[in-house]
Chains A and B, each alone.
Chain A
């Protein structure tokens, strides 16, 4: 590699320089090998530190030597210090202690071709260097801002995953599902709201959850808090713990356990999948299952699988933030839950045609 590239370097040096300038330029190179700009050691103003000169100050670059512009004082191999990790000038400055020469150095490898040593890493400093030069208070403040602006900012978010009109047998109705959160990457306060009703009647049911949400992995949040229900029948308050996140195969899933103030235990699992038909047209199948550990006739819930809901919605993302949709929803109650419903004069299952908007802010 090296001989080829050096030859290339030599040839290209001619190609680079315009003919008129070539002679004088190289005359400069030849007579004063240390003059070319990029060969110049980088002079650093170290402030309170001393001057440090890392580099050999004169070089007769191989391509110049090859062109007869100068004579290298020694070959690379001979020039290389016995311990490449610790050249004499650095040893003299106390930067390192020379070790025995390595076999690699003898093999002619140089620079970045050499393997690294195994020196220990220095300790992490316990102060900030800029505090030595600028007022510490100002630095402290700007450092705080810098860190906040590099990963520490909070976000607020509000979304309506469903906000729809439901056409069905009997009175048409409406339904919404919304979620808002505020917080950082790991810790958030989350508010969930859902509800439904029929036009011309009082709201049938609402459910509001106030949750602490914590990221527990790359894809999932653990959530805990309280849920308050209102609407038909007695109101209930629940303690809840659950999760939400992204499962393999791009399924958005959510699940929770609820313990009511009457001691009733219930659970829910739901999920959806976004199937992109085009960049803006998306078909979304969704499913929700509710379970209960015991019968709670006063709120119309029976034990076991109490109800399920399957939906299919086709939305068009006018922009990502705003997508009108149409679709179908099929809901069915099971077991005692179905029995309680029929006893109350309601259907145990039904189909709705839905149209609405999915939006977020």
Chain B
């Protein structure tokens, strides 16, 4: 299946024209954007060579320093076929160590590409050969796992064609790699976050806003101030410094994907951002989600969905009209968007919707989810004191002396989470977190349209392992927004956090409990896990899961991949601040 079967335009030159125009004219003001269709270069076959090198990239006419692969950003599309043996020779032409991690691929741990965990990394001016059997199909991606290189452009998509007929029917496909780009160096971004909390937030509540009747009431502002919580703190790094990219092109570059009216068009969407969680929609078209994190799901028609950093979704759109559509990926704090055009011909544009109002965090985002009384409280969570069933809530509150406001909860009660270290990196502990996998994400709750939630996803194929988990494990996602410290269970990776042990073959239920007011996309290397969303043996299988602020996400997984694996928040600067651990899967005889 070739990417875009109809090679009927030679409009690559238009790209240069668009970039040149953008340099001296506000992007949105251009009366006619020529648009262009630039395909990612593709590498495939049994022997692939990738070169990592410094280069420049041009975004909306401005040149910036970057790290690319084989001369492009994103790197080339790696197209593999299920069942083949992949041989990827990676040449590091940087003056520092580098690496490539194959995100979502099931492979031997020593080929996973995480320096310090799975291999020693790739030294400057040296080569590493990755070799592994390709045992799966779907949309994945790759990126550096060294330092902050990923932010500079060191990422690219992977598409693996199934060895048999693809159950997803489509006439044409496009790969859409979403990412974020800043003219600040990643080191500078991280430092600013460290020394000036909320540095990039240009949407804070103001006195002007209060007088204009916007945002929270004075009473709420005082209550939130008492807790030292800023409800506008949705994204740490955002549109105040980022330009959001589609396949390396800024919004005004108008990257265009072509279709013929009536075609079933498959969009393979990868969120390769360092820090940006997007809400994706194509105004005027329904999207049918057919794949999540590379694995097929029962087709789910939606109007919008949230894609966390490192997640992938494949959707089918069927535009029947002979007109252009805007593809909009609005960042979750609504400070900017990545934008592309779906069009029957190059050079077309469609109306681009304005940025919507930024959401405000709620009490639920602070882990007081059960307070509202509308949140689901499964028995097993109640038993673990994660929440209170609605029926008991009233009585318990009365017993605890909590008023109707429910504001008396300690925001940092270590009795709620005894395993969490009493550490400055723990700003808050969610007093009553609830399962939020049935929610679409911050700012999408009131949407009048169908927005995907994890609870909507059903695996197309039966789960390979449908045993009950032999045990369960709580992992607390902890952080301090004032110090920009991030950790698991109150311990940063740099504090030599010990590995999380698993026995090969055991099945374990993992509860990810978000004790912070920020969303965290959590990624487990080397495994797929099944989300516990009431789908039995048709649970959606993923490699990355968004844990909503103050909420819980639960998965079952089979520790079937021997070795040490990285486990971390995929927000690059959260990982860089310490939000990472090693997961260790050992043979049973080792544990004896």
Contact = CB atoms under 8 A, between A and B. Distances in A.
Nearest to B493: A150
A55 B465 contact: yes
A49 B578 contact: no
Contact of A111 (B190, B482, B538, B575): B538
Interface in B167-214: 167-171, 190-192, 194-196, 199, 202-208
A31 interface: no
Contact of A16 (B132, B290, B492): B290
B447 interface: no
A213 to B, nearest CB: 12
Interface size class of B (residues with CB under 8 A): 35 or more
A294 interface: no
- Among A76, A96, A116, A147, chain B packs the most CB atoms within 10 A around the CB of A116
Interface stretch (B2-10, B86-94, B117-125, B344-352): B117-125
Interface in B191-241: 191-192, 194-196, 199, 202-208, 222, 225-228
A250 B225 contact: yes
A43 B460 contact: no
A313 to B, nearest CB: 15
B461 A111 contact: no
A151 B578 contact: yes
Contacts, number: 342
B499 interface: yes
B577 A111 contact: no
A217 B82 CA distance: 51
Contacts of B194: 155
A67 interface: no
A117 B120 contact: no
B110 A130 contact: yes
A56 to B, nearest CB: 8
B109 interface: yes
Contacts of B163: 37
Nearest to A147: B494
Interface stretch (A131-139, A167-175, A304-312, A332-340): A131-139
A121 B483 CA distance: 33
Contacts of B137: 37-38
B311 to A, nearest CB: 18
Nearest to A158: B195
A263 interface: no
A119 B471 contact: yes
A93 interface: yes
Given A55-B465, A320-B196, A121 B501 contact: yes
Interface in A104-129: 104-105, 109-125, 128-129
B576 interface: yes
Contact of B504 (A22, A42, A52, A84): A52
A261 interface: no
Interface in B130-168: 132-133, 135-137, 147, 162-165, 167-168
A299 interface: no
B115 interface: yes
Contacts of B164: 28, 35-37
Nearest to B481: A218
Contact of B532 (A39, A81, A112): A112
A21 B171 CA distance: 12
Nearest to A80: B466
Interface string B474-489: 0000001011011100
Nearest to B577: A151
Contact of B467 (A6, A87, A185, A216): A87
Given A52-B504, A133-B110, A151-B485, A37 B82 contact: yes
A21 to B, nearest CB: 6
Nearest to A41: B464
B298 A12 contact: yes
B382 to A, nearest CB: 13
B276 interface: no
Interface stretch (B71-79, B244-252, B560-568): B560-568
A345 interface: no
B562 A360 contact: no
A95 B537 CA distance: 21
Contact of B115 (A5, A59, A146): A146
A250 to B, nearest CB: 5
B570 interface: no
B228 A8 contact: no
A151 B494 contact: yes
Contacts of A22: 169
A74 to B, nearest CB: 14
Interface in B418-449: 424-428
A81 B466 CA distance: 10
Contacts of B503: 95, 122
Interface string A176-189: 00000000011000
Contacts of B114: 146
Contacts of B302: none
Interface string B402-432: 0000000000100000000000111110000
A279 B299 contact: no
A325 to B, nearest CB: 17
B494 A249 contact: no
Contacts of B469: 85, 114, 116-117
Nearest to A95: B505
Interface in B495-536: 495-496, 498-499, 501-509, 530-536
A139 B537 contact: no
Interface stretch (A196-204, A233-241, A270-278, A284-292): A270-278
- Among B109, B205, B462, B591, chain A packs the most CB atoms within 10 A around the CB of B462
A121 B473 contact: yes
Interface in A1-51: 1-2, 5-6, 8-9, 12-13, 15-18, 21-22, 24-25, 28, 35-47, 49
Contacts of A186: 424
Interface of A: 1-2, 5-6, 8-9, 12-13, 15-18, 21-22, 24-25, 28, 35-47, 49, 52, 54-56, 59, 61-62, 76, 80-81, 84-87, 90, 93-96, 102, 104-105, 109-125, 128-130, 133-135, 138-139, 141-153, 155, 157, 185-186, 215-219, 246, 248-250, 275-279, 283, 320, 360
Interface of B: 82, 97, 106-110, 114-121, 132-133, 135-137, 147, 162-165, 167-171, 190-192, 194-196, 199, 202-208, 222, 225-228, 264, 290, 295-296, 298-299, 380, 412, 424-428, 458, 460-473, 480, 482-483, 485-487, 492-496, 498-499, 501-509, 530-539, 556, 558, 560-564, 568, 575-580, 584, 586-588, 590-591
Given A86-B470, A111-B539, A118-B471, 19 more contacts: A1-B536, A16-B167, A25-B165, A38-B461, A54-B505, A102-B468, A109-B536, A112-B530, A117-B468, A125-B499, A142-B116, A150-B579, A151-B495, A215-B424, A215-B483, A216-B424, A248-B227, A277-B208, A279-B204
5 contacts: A37-B163, A110-B537, A112-B536, A116-B469, A218-B412
